[in-house]
Amino acid sequence: MADPVLQLSAIRKSYGSGETESEILHGINLRLEKGEFAALIGPSGSGKSTLLNLIGLLDRPSSGQLFIDTQETGLLDDTHLTRLRGQRIGFVFQHHHLIPAFTAQENVAMPLLVARGHPDAAMFLKAGELLDQVGLADRKQYLANRLSGGQQQRVAIARALAMDPSLVLADEPTGNLDTHAADEVFKLLRTVNRQLQTTFLIVTHDPRLAKRCDRIIELVDGQIVADAPNTPDA
């Protein structure tokens, strides 16, 4: 079996200390393979956001091991953790977090600029190619604030792919969109998954969205209570 893109072993996360200590995640074990398209569901307060922050290397677990592409992240200092996050993980949030005064192409190029430290023609060429792939070939030079909500989320997806990540974390990626735009954005995520074999973990409150994924992982009270393959709805 190939090495997993993501592996969590006995992950726990607590906040506070002493009498005020509260454990949010209780021994999470999870493995995602290359090309998986999985949904993470659960009620509010179940620990989904905490778990996503740990997987996205935005926070550290209190105990346990977390591997990204076989790299044990607990062994890394903050500088190397930031570098690994930038290189291997893409993020798509409910709100696109684009820079309004930048063009679509400039927004997509931002992760490349951060990684390289200086602009060059190659990064803008790649940003343009990614916008082509997400159906925005004619919107490259539009300022982000001139795009529709669905178009802005497409730009955010292109930006998430700029560094060729092995894992994309999508946190309620269609939550701010109308039904039509949400459907188009979801189809795009699925197309990227199939064409590039990028692994996706999609956090959602929408059961209809979860049922369109290949695997559904349910988190309740800081524990995974169900994890099973799923035959996606059409």
Structure tokens at 60: 């550290």
H-helix or E-strand containing 103?
none
Q: How confident is the model at residue 179 (pLDDT cuts 50, 70, 90)?
A: confident
Helix count (H) and strand count (E) of the chain?
Answer: 7, 10
Q: So what CATH class is 6-15+22-229?
A: alpha beta
Paired sense of beta strands 6-15 and 22-32, if any:
antiparallel
Query: Cα 154 to the chain's mean position, in Å?
Result: 14
Where are the domains positioned within the chain?
6-15+22-229
Q: Residue length, the chain? A: 234
Query: Do the beta carbons of residue 205 and residue 172 sit within 8 Å?
Result: yes
Does the structure show a pLDDT above 60 at 111?
Answer: yes
pLDDT in tens, 79-102: 999 999 999 999 998 777 899 999
Residue holding tokens 């916008």?
A: 131
